[in-house]
Amino acid sequence: MNETRNIIIGFDLGSKTSQLCYYDRKEKEPISLSPKAGSNQYQFPTCLSKKSGEDIWHYGFEAEYFIREKDEISIDSFYEACHQDELISVDGQMRHPWEILAIFLEEVLTMLGVADPIRQISAIMTTTKELTGPMVRNLQKAYERVGFTKSRCFLQDYEESFYYYVLNQKTEYRNRKIAWFTFEEEEVAYAHLVTDNKTKPILVTIEKGKTISLPSDSLGKDLQFYQLIHESFKTDNYASVYIVGEGFEKEWAKRSIPLLCKGQRHVFYGNNLFVKGACCGAREKVEEKNLKNYLYAGSSLVKYNIGMEMLVQGNNAWYPVIEAGKNWYESVKEFEIILDDKKELIFRVYPMDGKTATSYSMQLPGLPKRPNRTTRLHILVAYESPTVCVITVKDLGFGEMYPGSGQVWTEKMSW
């Protein structure tokens, strides 16, 4: 890799294997990186090892070697721990999952082969199958521990990575319907990308279809997959088909492949779609806005605008707090206000589909009695899931004359 600055990274954090890629400015596309020089093996184990009693770590294939040959301590359960926020026992010490995740991330970034990856990376997008609240917090803390600022670190799930990957492909690959088959262990699931060109911006969603279990024998697999394709496609016109995950093999799909390719459909198979989609997403965030006319309405999207009506320089004004159309883990706002003849906070909530607004009142019981306009409040609004918004308010008082009580009110709201 020859780039030494403005590096854009996609990182796929999987439960068993992970991947890394970077955006090649000459080729104008994401390029997958292999942990082994000259190899086409891009996936590596989501695993760390530690030398007992010493601060020496290894990751991926090296970790497996040192565990097997050098009796190093195996740490291969931190992915699951990140979803549960559980402490991990490592070499006699209890560690937070984000601490282990930060070490793994530092080791993985050595694949770039640059002297100072923290300084030279302009954006890094981590993608994973599901972004739960604990996983989001652990990833954000891991980024911070490694040395990244928040403005350079982004998160998205596999579905959003699929969106970014597909919409960065040639027009002829996406000018009709787009199908997506995911193989995982003994199951295969169907979904497709839906584009609503009647809206501005153009609304893009992913609709999930049927999931089936596959038999163990090749003939049975081919027959079941063929039937799933036939039932899912019906008579619809598809431009392209994407197959991801472990389990699909050309050797057994003798009847299925001709059906996939029917009607000059473009068929793609591989395991680096999500990591490349993450790289495309990172580039969209910090550089070219190729998809500014599109809005991905995924399950992580906040679908409500939140604001407050305030008095600004003697005039009534609308103060936006949370903007709809962003992922829940990106929707955070901190600000301060001075109360004016009120003992409660009123939030106005507008659905992004333009329907009627609703008012929500947050009471502040026990708020110290002070003269009007001498109570300053610090307000933090953040989501803990796509549907649950947490509002935290702290009493700051008003200077030395009316010191803050330090009292804190927290309320969870589901619009």
**Are 142 and 49 contained in the same domain?**
yes
**Are 76 and 177 contained in the same domain?**
no
Q: Is residue 219 part of a domain?
A: yes
Give the H or E element holding residue 63: helix 60-69
Q: What is the pLDDT of residue 192?
A: 97
Q: Is residue 408 part of a domain?
A: yes
Q: What is the pLDDT of residue 312?
A: 74
Q: What is the pLDDT of residue 353?
A: 77
**Are 249 and 119 contained in the same domain?**
no
Maximum Cα interatomic distance, the chain, rounded to a whole number of Å: 82
pLDDT-derived band of residue 85, with 50, 70 and 90 as boundaries?
confident
Q: Is the pLDDT of residue 3 over 60?
A: no
Does the CA dihedral 359-363-369-373 come out positive or negative? negative
**Are 22 and 142 contained in the same domain?**
yes
**Are 65 and 169 contained in the same domain?**
no
- Assigned token pair, 347: 């939030």
pLDDT-derived band of residue 400, with 50, 70 and 90 as boundaries?
confident
Q: Is residue 166 part of a domain?
A: yes
Average pLDDT of the segment spanning 369-391: 94
pLDDT-derived band of residue 316, with 50, 70 and 90 as boundaries?
confident
Q: Is the pLDDT of residue 313 over 80?
A: no
Domains: count for the chain: 3
Q: Is residue 286 part of a domain?
A: no
Q: Is residue 154 part of a domain?
A: no
Average pLDDT of the segment spanning 124-142: 96
Does the CA dihedral 206-210-215-219 come out positive or negative? negative
**Are 187 and 246 contained in the same domain?**
yes
How does pLDDT run across 351-368, given as a tens digit for each residue? 987 778 899 999 999 999
**Are 135 and 196 contained in the same domain?**
no
By the 10 Å C-beta count (0-12 exposed, 13-18 middle, 19+ buried), 333 is classed as middle
Q: Is the pLDDT of residue 1 over 80?
A: no
| Contact status, residue 179 vs residue 243, Cβ threshold 8 Å | no
**Are 21 and 143 contained in the same domain?**
yes
Average pLDDT of the segment spanning 188-194: 97
Average pLDDT of the segment spanning 135-157: 96
**Are 12 and 114 contained in the same domain?**
yes
362, amino acid identity: M
Average pLDDT of the segment spanning 269-280: 96
How does pLDDT run across 220-264, given as a tens digit for each residue? 999 999 999 999 999 999 999 999 999 999 999 999 999 999 999
Average pLDDT, the chain: 93
DSSP H stretches of helix in 90-191: 97-108, 117-120, 133-146, 158-166
Q: Is residue 136 part of a domain?
A: yes
Average pLDDT of the segment spanning 335-361: 90
pLDDT-derived band of residue 144, with 50, 70 and 90 as boundaries?
very high
Give the residue from 233, 256, 275 where a domain finishes.
275
Q: Is residue 203 part of a domain?
A: yes
Q: Name the residue range of residue 398's domain.
A: 304-413
**Are 24 and 111 contained in the same domain?**
yes
pLDDT-derived band of residue 162, with 50, 70 and 90 as boundaries?
very high
Q: Is the pLDDT of residue 95 over 70?
A: yes
pLDDT-derived band of residue 67, with 50, 70 and 90 as boundaries?
very high
Pairing of strands 389-398, 408-413: antiparallel
Which CATH number fits the domain that encloses residue 250?
A: 3.30.420.10
pLDDT-derived band of residue 106, with 50, 70 and 90 as boundaries?
very high
pLDDT-derived band of residue 5, with 50, 70 and 90 as boundaries?
low
Which CATH number fits the domain that encloses residue 331?
A: 2.60.34
By the 10 Å C-beta count (0-12 exposed, 13-18 middle, 19+ buried), 385 is classed as middle
Q: Is the pLDDT of residue 4 over 70?
A: no
Give the residue from 148, 178, 212 where a domain finishes.
148
In eight-state DSSP terms, residue 149 is -
How does pLDDT run across 22-50, given as a tens digit for each residue? 999 999 999 999 998 878 899 999 999 99
Q: Is the pLDDT of residue 170 over 70?
A: yes
**Are 345 and 367 contained in the same domain?**
yes
Q: Is residue 22 part of a domain?
A: yes
CA–CA dist 270, 256 (Å, integer): 17
Q: Is the pLDDT of residue 56 over 90?
A: yes
Which CATH number fits the domain that encloses residue 140?
A: 3.30.420.40
Give the residue from 84, 117, 148 where a domain finishes.
148
**Are 143 and 186 contained in the same domain?**
no
